[in-house]
Amino acid sequence: LTEPVQVVGASPLLETLTSSRGSVIDQRKIVELPLNGRDYNQLALLSPGVLPGTPRLASVNFKGVLNVNGNRTFNNVFLLDGVDNISYSNSFRGENVQLVQPSIEALQEFKIQTNAYSAEFGRSSGAVVNATIKSGSNTVRGSVYEFFRNDALDANNY
C-alpha cells in the first residue's frame, strides 16, 4: 500500500491593517517564567523597546515602572480587562501606581503595545499594558505560593 502525502506550508501573512507594535504574553509564559516578586509586569521586558525604569523613591518598590521607547515611566497606561487601572491620586511621584495588582495565577494573558496603537488608547505616549483576568468556572480552584529564604541555605563564600 502506498499513499501519496502532500505537505503544503505557507509563511504567515503580515498584518497590514494596523501599525501597532507589541507583544502578547500568554498564560503559559506568565506561570512558567521566573519572576522576582511575582510581578507580571517584569515580563513586559521581553518586548522590544522596554527597559526597567528607576523609581524616584528608592525606598518604595513601585510595580510596573517601565521605560518604553525612551518615554518616561508615567507615560504608560495600565488597563485591567480594558478598564483604566491607574491611581491618579498616587502617581504624583512620577510613576503610574496600579490600583489592582492581580496574582499571576489570576491572569489569562497580558498585552503590551509599545508603538502606534489605536486612538482608543491614545491618552499617553508610552506603552499600553492590558492585563486580562481568567474567566470564571463552576469548579473551585486554589493555589499556594511560598517564598522562603534563609541564611543557612545560602552558598558559602570560599
Domain ranges of the chain: 21-153
Q: Say how far apart CA 79 and CA 102 lie, in whole Å.
A: 12
Beta strand spans in the chain (E): 21-26, 50-52, 66-68, 77-80, 83-84, 107-115, 128-133
> Taking the model in full, what pTM does it have?
0.71
pLDDT by residue (tens digit) across 46-56? 888 888 877 65
Identify the CA nearest to 113 among candidates 35, 38, 19. Answer: 19
pLDDT by residue (tens digit) across 85-118? 887 665 555 566 777 888 888 888 888 888 877 7
pLDDT by residue (tens digit) across 3-52? 888 887 777 666 667 667 778 888 888 888 887 777 888 888 888 888 88
CATH code for the structural domain at 21-153: 2.170.130.10
Q: Say how far apart CA 2 and CA 40 lie, in whole Å.
A: 52
Mean pLDDT computed over every residue of the chain: 78
Q: How confident is the model at residue 73 (pLDDT cuts 50, 70, 90)?
A: confident
Q: Say how far apart CA 109 and CA 24 lie, in whole Å.
A: 7
CA dihedral 17, 83, 127, 38 (to 10 degrees): -120
Alpha-carbon distances, residue 145 vs 31, 37, 148 (angstroms) = 12, 11, 10
Residue 141 identity: R
